[in-house]
Structure 1
């Protein structure tokens, strides 16, 4: 059975050890005494699975949003130097909203 990282990550240590028994590999020596984190890493290596989750931003042009954030950072610096606290607050809120927009779009 082909496993994914998400499936393996949700398994208990006992279940991971059962998967390790099914694999006949020398890289899994000592799996019965391993804790979950190193056992999961070794299993991913043996099974050829990417050992971490990848998230992508969908429905959003992330590069354009990042470019807009870079422009706002310049405006934030200018507001800081000018001691314009109202403008500084507005720019910081815009940067924060854009960051949240990227996070919401990430799945």
Structure 2
């Protein structure tokens, strides 16, 4: 039975040990003595599952937004180098808004 990282993460230690007891992989040896973090890592190694979940950005052009953020950061640094800071809050708000746009589009 194929498992995903998310499924394994939601299981209890007893369930993970039940899966590990039938395996002969080196990473799950001594599974009865492992805590959940070590057992989860060993099972992912034994089953060739990646240890993190992948998030994808859907519906926006992430690269274009990141370019805008970089240009705004340069502008922010220029403003900080001078004593004129009237525009600083506007630039910081724009950077924040663009970052939130990316986070909201992440699935």
Confirm or deny that 1:30 pairs with 2:59. Answer: no
Distance 2:12 2:98 in 1: 38
Distance 2:83 2:93 in 1: 17
Q: Whose helix fraction is larger, Structure 1's or Structure 2's?
A: 1
Distance 1:98 1:5 in 2: 30
**Structure 1 residue 60 displacement after superposition:** 1.2
Q: Which runs of 5+ in 2 are unaligned?
A: none
Aligned residues: 107
Distance 1:84 1:54 in 2: 42
Aligned to 1:69: 69
Match runs of 1:1-107 below 5 Å = 1-107=1-107
**Structure 1 residue 27 displacement after superposition:** 3.3
Q: 1:25 to 1:77 in 2, by over 3 A?
A: closer
Distance 2:61 2:103 in 1: 13
Deviations 1:30-86 (A, max 9, x none): 000001111101101111111111111111111100100111011111211222322
TM-score (norm 1): 0.92
